[in-house]
Amino acid sequence: MKRWLTALLLVALPAWAMPGAEAQTPGEVFRKVAPSVVVIRAKGRDISASGQSRFAETGSGVLISPDGKVMTAAHVVHAMDEISVEFLGGETVKAHVVASEPAADLSLLQLARVPAGAKASPLANSDPIQVGDPVIIVGAPYGLSYSLSNGLISARWKPNTVYKTMPLAEFFQTTATINTGNSGGPMFDMKGEVVGIVSHNISKSGGSEGLGFVVTINTAKKLLLERKSFWSGLEGQVLSDAEADLLNLPPGATGYIVKTVAKDSPAEQMGLRGATMVVNLGRGEVPLGGDIILTVEGVKAEAANLAKIRDALSAKSAGSPFKVTVLRAGKVVELTGRMP
């Protein structure tokens, strides 16, 4: 009877309390991973009806390699002009984007240098993770650096199900608190391995309501490390057929209208131009005054072809040329870029 009770108690104990178990308490995990977590501060430009303005973005990220690769969310850095990364202790270094996939809200940064004391976190295999597994998130909600929240995996969503504007992302839903500034930060399992990159939360009140969404780390590994999605530095939108007609595009043509072009990006280097104003054409705001991309490598720049264009560019080797045709001030112009 005594042996049976002892066995029952051992089964009931949480994994972190059992001798020799790999799991740890949230506090132990936090102290282990904090040297890999970073605060990202970026500066960019926005276009509105009144013209161009400057703005700043604060997010989070995680160092994943000793040579200075940092994973974060695309919406924090994708079209920004300046990016700086702050480590535990306050040391700040410059960074630039080397791969990005807005369709999964993921970007990969390269640091100018890696500060002494910084430590890369290992990447888990996110496939075995199940609903109910405990996790922690470390980031900078509302700019409050190195804040910890913990919770559970509350759901798992296949690509192109829960969030249609990010069709390539497999998401974890979590009860761990996510707020502004957490975006791009890491979610860890209780072994201190990265299992996801924070994307966003859905909220009616503006605060956290337990509907936080995190891109699985296997998605990030596939798109940022294995395929290394091409970073253009462009922000814009695909035109609808009605908008294309209003803007006098060639018959049967549509395109991607450019809103902003990040400084020193491949798009800027090839000469693409951003918008100068935003107007309402009756079905939402559209940026005007910049280029409208008609084709990329001969493929029409329309919604149905975005995956084909993405894959074609990602398959090109560094330094190889690619062609883009744009409508600029009523004329079709061909531009040549080079893969970074």
> 183 catalytic, yes or no?
yes
Instruction: Name the residue among 265, 213, 207 with its Cα closest to residue 236.
Output: 265
Q: How far is CA 233 from CA 65, 142, 229, in A?
A: 23, 26, 12
Answer whether 307's CB lies under 8 Å from 78's CB. Answer: no
Q: How far is CA 253 from CA 107, 284, 322, in A?
A: 30, 20, 20
> 154 catalytic, yes or no?
no
Catalytic residue among 78, 100, 105, 147: 105
Q: Is 125 left (phi over 0), alpha (psi -120 to 50) or beta?
A: beta
Catalytic residue among 100, 145, 183, 208: 183
> 127 catalytic, yes or no?
no
Mind telling me the catalytic residues?
A: 75, 105, 183
